[in-house]
Chain A
Amino acid sequence: MADVVLTNLNKQFDSFTAVEDMNLSIEQGEFVSLLGPSGCGKTTTLRMLAGLEFCTSGEIRIGERVVNDVAPGERDIAMVFQSYALYPHMSVENNIAYPLKKRGVPKSERGAMVAKTAEMLHLTELLNRKPRQLSGGQQQRVALGRALVRDPKVFLLDEPLSNLDAKLRGYMRAELVQLHNRLGRTMVYVTHDQLEAMTMSNRIAIMEGGRLQQFAPPQDVYREPANRFVASFIGTPGMNLIDGELRQQGGTWWFEAPELKIEARGLGPSAQAGKVCLGIRPESITLGTGPYSGAVQLVEQTGHENIVAVNIGGDIRLTGRAPATVIPRFGETIQFSIDPDASHFFAAGPAGIRLNVPRSAESADKWNPAEAAVNLQEAQL
């Protein structure tokens, strides 16, 4: 049975809608990321889940209970804040012990529980220090410890890694995943970093403008993004997006833009002529040979590969990947080919619903072909 259920959740601030019609159902033991750019509503959603913000309307259920009116301390949750929010005047030990104290756990037991948690997080030598004497990484572990010590039903994490330097972040990512595997508890994780979401989650809930865009496992989100926004948000370097038209010639569909013409596959029987947006991931572009060509605008050498931006006409640039040994010169004309089976199509316009036929039967029920056709028509009006 689902552990956390958000139903028709709305949050309105005066004139500004932060969260609109949010519906989410998280299974027990799942690691779910709330992913999106700043201002998309992910933190607000998490805070409503925690009870730190009140919902304008909608229902929040944790376990069997509707918790809208339940105080944060009684929802059986724990939260790790982006700023860690360690109590500055208390020692590490007292910080971790605080939730136990609030629950009335007797002093004798508290010590043991705190010690066990501290050991698990390698904090035992730091128990007597104050937060300001700790490094960022250590503070973060204390915040984790404070959350873990209570063994709650649901863990909420609000961008806990964003204040760490890149190397430490990578390390902590792995630690968190291992922790999740070991504990098997439900975790809801807010982040703006799509790499974090992709590597850590069972499912990702992508949000933008207060609305849920897609809720699916990482691979689905990557290979079958539900709309233009998701497609451009997931993946680095980002997906190439080109506006153009769908036209049928003979028995095949073609995508035509002033700069590019490519066979349009994967549209299924409901394909219709009209304006669309083509999406191609950089790894689907093979540089060096092929029917297309363009002028090299930018070469970024990352060490293990090169990211090359090619101008194909007008202002349109395609970004592709090349092996590290291939280093094109600026301005040089380069050939490339595109894998037609790897193209994505989205309806024209900002909503940009995905038009491709789903690749697997499973993802079929998350995607409605009829709806896509209607959206394509609406977009053309």
Chain B
Amino acid sequence: MARRIAFNIFAWSIVLMVAFPLFWMVVTSVKPQPELFRRPPTFLPEVWTFEHYAKLLFDTKFMTYFRNSVILSVSTTAIVIVIATIGAYSLVRFKYRGRESLAFLVLFTYLLPSVVLILPLYLMIVQLGMSNTIFSLVIAYTTFALPYALWLLRSFMQGIPEDLESAALVDGASRMGAFRDIILPQLLPGIISTALFTFILSWNEYLYALVLVNSDNARPLTTGVMNMLISSFNIEWSLLMAASVMMSVPLIIAFAFLQSYLTRGFGAGGMKG
């Protein structure tokens, strides 16, 4: 019995150690600026303040960046999910020449360094006159999000018994009819998992945003925050932490709602490429 308690304490100490940086992030964001430079540092804030959040929201371009990130991530997710869902259906339930090679290709692109793709992509976007637009980012993000989404959805699709579709065909449905009536409802948890995963990938992307967008109008949060705050002479850590917390808010919300979906989705397709 004592062993069990000791083990529990041990386990939770590690969990708390891993989670500590994030806890510290939240704590720092609600401390007033002077308290930050207290030596020794205080663990919990003596004074709680939301002034940094206010400053972030009203005095900086943060909300612009936030808006851009939302548009960007939602658009990318929508496009990727549609393409990947029908693609996964095709890869799993249809037979045609080259199908296996395509699956192989998907696997391959999953592993490509974005730093390699970015160079010609940059050229292409500039030559098309699309640089500095959210649209260019959507295109770029689709690049790396699609293989992940496709692989995850393929995994989910393989988990749906083939008999269901067969029964629907015998019952008189066309293939797309069976897809709509039978497969999609079954695939819904998988689609939600994949959509969340894709959203998070897009929300967190940095390099493409760095290279392809220079103006604040189109900047998403990742480059926006780095740009806005590090460029000032005095690094305002409290503001940075507040920005970090706000950037992580959509993730936490998504997480809280659909925690089981995420781990399930990850387990199904995440590690097997």
Which residue, of B163, B167, B172, has the highest number of chain A Cβ atoms within 10 A? B167
Which residues of A in the span 201-221 have a Cβ within 8 Å of any Cβ on B? none
A102 engages B166 (CB within 8 Å): no
CA distance A72 to B167 in the complex (A): 9
Dominant secondary structure of chain B at its interface with chain A: helix
**Closest beta carbon of chain A to B158's beta carbon, Å:** 16
A88 engages B186 (CB within 8 Å): yes
Which residues of A in the span 85-105 have a Cβ within 8 Å of any Cβ on B? 85-89, 98-99, 102-103
- Given the interface pairs A52-B166, A85-B163, the reply to whether A73 lies near B171 with Cβ below 8 Å is yes
A79 engages B167 (CB within 8 Å): yes
CA distance A197 to B170 in the complex (A): 24
B270 within 8 A of A: no
Produce 1/0 per residue, A100-126, CB < 8 A to B. Answer: 001100000000000000000000000
Residues from chain B with a CB closer than 8 A to the CB of A72 are: 166, 169-170
CA distance A340 to B161 in the complex (A): 53
**Closest beta carbon of chain A to B97's beta carbon, Å:** 14
Residues from chain B with a CB closer than 8 A to the CB of A146 are: 167, 171
A74 within 8 A of B: yes
A52 engages B170 (CB within 8 Å): yes
CA distance A98 to B167 in the complex (A): 10
CA distance A87 to B166 in the complex (A): 11
A83 within 8 A of B: yes
B169 engages A71 (CB within 8 Å): yes
CA distance A77 to B174 in the complex (A): 15
A102 engages B171 (CB within 8 Å): yes
**Closest beta carbon of chain A to B173's beta carbon, Å:** 5
Residues from chain A with a CB closer than 8 A to the CB of B171 are: 73, 78, 98-99, 102, 146, 150
Size category of the A interface is: 20 to 34
B247 within 8 A of A: no
Residues from chain B with a CB closer than 8 A to the CB of A79 are: 166-167, 170
A81 engages B163 (CB within 8 Å): yes
CA distance A81 to B170 in the complex (A): 11
**Closest beta carbon of chain A to B183's beta carbon, Å:** 10
**Closest beta carbon of chain B to A149's beta carbon, Å:** 10
CA distance A77 to B172 in the complex (A): 10
CA distance A83 to B165 in the complex (A): 12
Instruction: Identify the closest chain A residue to B184 (Cβ).
Output: A89
Instruction: Identify the closest chain B residue to A81 (Cβ).
Output: B163
B172 engages A81 (CB within 8 Å): no
**Closest beta carbon of chain B to A283's beta carbon, Å:** 40
A102 engages B164 (CB within 8 Å): no
CA distance A87 to B182 in the complex (A): 7
**Closest beta carbon of chain A to B178's beta carbon, Å:** 9
A50 within 8 A of B: yes
In the complex, how many residue pairs between chain A and chain B have their CB atoms under 8 Å apart? 58
A89 engages B168 (CB within 8 Å): no
CA distance A99 to B177 in the complex (A): 12
CA distance A63 to B181 in the complex (A): 30
B186 engages A89 (CB within 8 Å): yes
Residues from chain B with a CB closer than 8 A to the CB of A50 are: 166, 170
CA distance A61 to B207 in the complex (A): 61
Residues from chain B with a CB closer than 8 A to the CB of A320 are: none
Choose one: B167, B172, B173, B181; the contact of A85 (CB below 8 Å): B167
Residues from chain A with a CB closer than 8 A to the CB of B164 are: 85, 87-88
CA distance A178 to B167 in the complex (A): 24
Residues from chain A with a CB closer than 8 A to the CB of B161 are: 83, 85
Choose one: A74, A78, A87, A102; the contact of B177 (CB below 8 Å): A102
Instruction: Identify the closest chain B residue to A88 (Cβ).
Output: B186
**Closest beta carbon of chain A to B179's beta carbon, Å:** 13
A81 engages B166 (CB within 8 Å): yes
Produce 1/0 per residue, A228-270, CB < 8 A to B. Answer: 0000000000000000000000000000000000000000000
CA distance A273 to B232 in the complex (A): 107
A145 within 8 A of B: no
A51 within 8 A of B: yes
B186 engages A85 (CB within 8 Å): no
Which residues of B in the span 5-62 have a Cβ within 8 Å of any Cβ on A? none
CA distance A81 to B166 in the complex (A): 9
CA distance A103 to B173 in the complex (A): 9
Produce 1/0 per residue, B79-116, CB < 8 A to A. Answer: 00000000000000000000000000000000000000
CA distance A88 to B168 in the complex (A): 12
Instruction: Identify the closest chain B residue to A104 (Cβ).
Output: B172
**Closest beta carbon of chain A to B157's beta carbon, Å:** 15
**What is B's interface to A at a CB cutoff of 8 Å?**
161, 163-164, 166-174, 177, 181-182, 185-186
Other A-B pairs beyond A73-B172, A150-B171, 20, CB < 8 Å = A50-B166, A71-B174, A72-B169, A72-B170, A73-B170, A73-B173, A74-B172, A79-B167, A85-B161, A85-B167, A87-B167, A87-B182, A99-B171, A99-B172, A102-B172, A102-B173, A102-B177, A103-B172, A146-B167, A146-B171
5 A-B pairs in the complex with CB atoms less than 8 angstroms apart: A50-B166, A73-B174, A81-B167, A85-B164, A146-B167
Ranked 6 nearest A-B pairs via Cβ: A102-B172, A73-B172, A85-B163, A85-B167, A99-B171, A89-B185
